[in-house]
Structure 1
Amino acid sequence: MTDDVLAVHGGTPLNGRVRVRGAKNLVSKAMVASLLGDSPSTLYDVPAIRDVEVVTGLLELHGVRVSRGESDGELIFDPSNVESASTDEINVHAGSSRIPILFCGPLLHRLGHAFIPDLGGCHIGPRPIDFHIQALRQFGAIVDKAPEGMHLTAPNGLHGTKFELPYPSVGATEQVLLTAVLAEGVTELRNAAVEPEIMDLICVLQKMGAIITVHTDRVIEIKGVKRLGGYSHRPIPDRIEAASWAAAALATRGDITVLGAQQADMGTFLNVFRSIGGQFEVTDTLPPNETRPGREGGIRFWHPGTELTAVALETDVHPGFATDWQQPLVVALTQARGISIVHETVYEQRLGYTEALNSMGATIQTYRDCLGGTPCRFGRRNFHHSAVIAGPSKLHAADLVIPDLRAGFSHLIAALAAEGTSRVYGVNLIKRGYENFETKLAELGANVERV
């Protein structure tokens, strides 16, 4: 018996409403940004997820006082007493998140040194930190490798630089932004990631006093300033969680309204969702002078009751189809008539979860070839990064072991769509990015229980 196993009694459509809060992929980065200020920062609508707990612990290890505000989901960060933390203490958190590497720039500015432990996170590909290290070195950091990780110093301070990413990495773009804002001089970053969460991080830094210009063709220019203050910010809603619930509605033949979901950041997903045959309706947030209850903006997603249609899609960096969208959606594609093709171009080892779906009755074959419109960087390497899904398939219950965050939610969706009772092991991993997911499932009519 363990509290990390969920019994899922499948076959019931999910119906009802859920709400998404601040984006996981922005909130944790905004929390790190608070280190750069010389006055407190306030972040609203923070979800109660494991990643927030990890970053809170890391901030507190470095002397930042983290407290709850008056409203639900409000956190206040006071960085007035930033201090060093021992490598042993940092390593306690290392297996839980890849966030520690983003502390480097802010800590080099505040303390003159930083430490990178061995990094954890989801096992969906190597995700090397080479881009991060190269960028930090160009800013003037000295990196010393040690058995427990990497120690960084900046004896001559950090200075603006010109840097071009070989690939528009989200993490490396965040690294450059968090380091450049207080570096002396001007930094020019080419081939930058431009995801909505990156743009929202730029908004946070601009509120703190940074000078950041986003040019065309993925070029970002940052003029270093001498000081930054705190910020007050309400993050964009979590578009990944919103799409996950949309996929759950489609796979279970249900009807889910995702309050807080925003159309603008989900346009590419919505196009694919509609192409499959899913239906959606957008409700915009009412103006401030409106007082009618129950009119928070959001998107309603539902199964049309008719046959779904197979599609071909490729994941890509924004504004393409986000890699975190494909795993939940593939479960819905197992219920579509015809042959669907998914070409994963962001993470080379992200299709391993399909083996579990096949054990439930799905028909999915993975390939090393690029089964998409354009060859990708994995095309001539030994990675199964394309999938062919034949449907519709009748899914049946199975015992499932969650391998990573997004695959975990896709396994959960599959169990909900399948006939019979599945046991899903390792469900606590889902807490990394999905707030109160068991409560939300209950509110949608799902029959699940801890065993």
Structure 2
Amino acid sequence: MLFWNTARMSRSLVLNGGRPLIGDIEVRGAKNLVSKAMVAVVLAEEPCRLRGVPEISDVQIVAGLLELHGVKIDSSDRDGELLLDPTNVEQAHVADIDAHAGSSRVPVLLCGPLLHRLGEAFIPDLGGCRIGERPINFHLDVLRTFGAVVDKRPEGLRLTAPHGLKGADIQLPYPSVGTTEQVLLTAVRAEGTTVLRNAAIEPEIMDLVAILQKMGAIISVQTDRRIEIEGVPRLGGFDHLAIPDRIEAGSWACAALATAGDIYVRGAQQQPMMAFLNVFRRVGGSFDIDDEGIRFWHSGGDINSLAIETDVHPGLMTDWQQPLVVALTQTRGLSIIHETVYENRLGFTSALGEMGAQIQTYRNCLGSSPCRFSRANFQHSAVVSGPARLRGAEITVPDLRGGFSYLIAALAAEGTSKVHGIDLIYRGYENFSTKLDAVGADYDLI
């Protein structure tokens, strides 16, 4: 088992806001890559080494699922490094999988690798943050295209591949990150060639492609969102340093801006964050890039209102939207947000209103980008009026990114806030209480 204990993590904190955050913190491997890299280990028939692994609960959950399937994991005396041995992969008990699955959506990504290694996979009910529907129908349709047979049972779904998995020609209706990962993890050992059109091309996807190539996969990424995968009969191990977490880096940058602070984010990289850095500069934030990380700070005076739209990469990442909204409450004038990726991602703004923010959400598309929700009844656009004088409040974390955004709001607010449900934040933010110490936050865990 891993060396940290998520069961001991606090679930609430009391935070005294109204002071600038100043200090130096470090980000390690991206949550959205590390868990998928761990799943890729099941495809291998040799040991693997993954470096830069953050101490977050999602890693603990995936590690538990892998160990249930016979993968040996060694993290002792290795800071941020996992040694994973998939030599003896085996089928896990349904009840054991179900005990883990309530906290993660990763089991659906294990299907392709398990079908290749064992000829069978099981999916219980799936958990995850409630920011949108995120149905698994894309995943099941993809797996059926490869030749999987899906059998619905009371306890979940059983998948088999009676004739093996074959390469396929797949066109995604939307460049879904999760479905692109599913195709990659299934196609690399399927017989024949797979062509995936309208694929997601996020930096974490490209890092997963790099890992699979190290293992022996043959993957070509074209400029038109087309990925071609030539299946191979066997994959070996890998040694890989995970790409840094650009979401966490952007979250701390927004904390610096909202609190008129100055935070150096060691490990942050420019290229995966270019869309964010452009917005940060337009709003009036300052940053300086060196070989070790990026320094983010509030340069003084008023910061600017602006209009932003989230989109798939290379657009502005949806996970940056929530912390940016908190920073936008401190700008002068009206800011407009158009969320085009997840239909319910603006639901977190209601608690910000209780803290004094002036935010109005709308069903209309307040932007020019093509949007899947233009004819749907979702509050997916917002107008933020600022600057708002935020005040402390008692709030409950709704989801991972919204939760960290609540921390930013509490840090920027006058007075004391009590934040419940912070165990959700441990899913994607490593040692965030230690990092709060490093930037001078005044808080108590309870």
| TM-score, length basis structure 1 | 0.96
**Is the counterpart of residue 433 in structure 1 residue 390 in structure 2?**
no
**Is the counterpart of residue 343 in structure 1 residue 338 in structure 2?**
yes
How far off its partner does 1:69 sit? 5.9
How far off its partner does 1:70 sit? 5.0
Give the counterpart letter for 1:110 in structure 2: R
Which residue does 1:289 correspond to in 2? none
Measure, in 2, the Cα distance between the counterparts of 1:375 and 1:159.
34
Measure, in 2, the Cα distance between the counterparts of 1:359 and 1:375.
32
Q: Is the 8 A contact 1:69 1:76 kept in 2?
A: no
Measure, in 1, the Cα distance between the counterparts of 2:370 and 2:80.
43
Mapping 1:140-219, distance limit 5 Å: 140-219=147-226
Which residue of 12, 16, 32 corresponds with 2:23? 16
Which residue of 298, 304, 311 corresponds with 2:306? 311
Measure, in 2, the Cα distance between the counterparts of 1:25 and 1:69.
23
Post-superposition Cα deviations, 1:194-247, rounded to whole Å, max 9, x if no partner, equal 000000000000000000000121000000001000000001100000000000
Q: Is the 8 A contact 2:46 2:237 kept in 1?
A: yes
Task: Give the match's secondary structure for 1:308.
Answer: coil
87-96 or 168-177: bigger deviation:
87-96
What fraction of aligned residue pairs are identical, expressed as a percent? 66
Which residue does 1:374 correspond to in 2? 369
Which residue does 2:66 correspond to in 1? 59
Which residue does 1:86 correspond to in 2? 93
**Is the counterpart of residue 26 in structure 1 residue 33 in structure 2?**
yes
How far off its partner does 1:48 sit? 0.3
Post-superposition Cα deviations, 1:356-378, rounded to whole Å, max 9, x if no partner, equal 00100000000000000134110
Task: Give the match's secondary structure for 1:300.
Answer: strand
Post-superposition Cα deviations, 1:259-301, rounded to whole Å, max 9, x if no partner, equal 00000000000000000000000012xxxxxxxxxxxx10000
Q: Is the 8 A contact 2:193 2:231 kept in 1?
A: yes
What do you get for the CA RMSD once the two structures are aligned? 0.9
Measure, in 2, the Cα distance between the counterparts of 1:95 and 1:271.
37
How far off its partner does 1:22 sit? 0.4
Measure, in 2, the Cα distance between the counterparts of 1:117 and 1:325.
30
Which residue does 2:317 correspond to in 1? 322
Which residue of 116, 122, 125 corresponds with 2:129? 122
Which residue of 85, 97, 110 corresponds with 1:103? 110
| TM-score, length basis structure 2 | 0.97
Which residue does 2:120 correspond to in 1? 113
Task: Give the match's secondary structure for 2:70.
Answer: coil
367-376 or 152-161: bigger deviation:
367-376
Measure, in 2, the Cα distance between the counterparts of 1:217 and 1:273.
28
Q: Is the 8 A contact 2:309 2:369 kept in 1?
A: no
Which residue of 236, 252, 264 corresponds with 1:257? 264
Give the counterpart letter for 1:168 in structure 2: P
**Is the counterpart of residue 299 in structure 1 residue 306 in structure 2?**
no
Measure, in 2, the Cα distance between the counterparts of 1:431 and 1:338.
34
Q: Is the 8 A contact 2:165 2:190 kept in 1?
A: yes
Aligned length: 438
**Is the counterpart of residue 410 in structure 1 residue 405 in structure 2?**
yes
Which residue does 2:43 correspond to in 1? 36
**Is the counterpart of residue 246 in structure 1 residue 241 in structure 2?**
no
Post-superposition Cα deviations, 1:158-216, rounded to whole Å, max 9, x if no partner, equal 00000010000000000000000000000000000000000000000000000000012
- Residues 1:266 and 1:3: Cα distance change in structure 2 (over 3 Å): closer
Measure, in 2, the Cα distance between the counterparts of 1:210 and 1:373.
39
Measure, in 2, the Cα distance between the counterparts of 1:81 and 1:124.
37
Post-superposition Cα deviations, 1:371-410, rounded to whole Å, max 9, x if no partner, equal 0013411011110000100000000000010000000000
Give the counterpart letter for 2:18 in structure 1: G
Measure, in 2, the Cα distance between the counterparts of 1:3 and 1:210.
42
Q: Is the 8 A contact 1:311 1:340 kept in 2?
A: yes
Where does structure 1 differ by over 3 angstroms across 4 or more consecutive aligned residues? none
Measure, in 1, the Cα distance between the counterparts of 2:237 and 2:190.
18
Measure, in 2, the Cα distance between the counterparts of 1:108 and 1:41.
20
**Is the counterpart of residue 228 in structure 1 residue 235 in structure 2?**
yes
Gaps of 5+ in 1: 285-296
Gaps of 5+ in 2: 1-8
How far off its partner does 1:3 sit? 3.7
Q: Is the 8 A contact 2:44 2:215 kept in 1?
A: yes
